Structure 1
Amino acid sequence: MSAPDDERRVEPFDDDLEILPDITGDERGTGWGESAFDSDDTARLLEERPPHWG
């Protein structure tokens, strides 16, 4: 027979264990196909500027 939950011993929980990450891979630039070494996006943004921006 099992003991009631009030009498059951529970071991301390390890709070340092990361179950789910704070930021997932698809929230980072590399998840969208960007290079990990691209720190300055100015040239890319100017190249991909829509035609109606002149």
Structure 2
Amino acid sequence: MSGPDDERRVDLADFDDGPPVLPDITDDERGSSWGEREEDDIARLLEDRPPHWG
């Protein structure tokens, strides 16, 4: 009979991590999926600023 599972040794080197099961960010969370450009366009953001922001 073997000992408790807490004392059992498992060699993690045998496991291949492979690709992630779930991505960190899904496609619908990316700006490109909503028609936004990928580059950081500060000038466009300042131009789109509402007038009451001064």
Q: TM-score under structure 2 normalisation?
A: 0.49
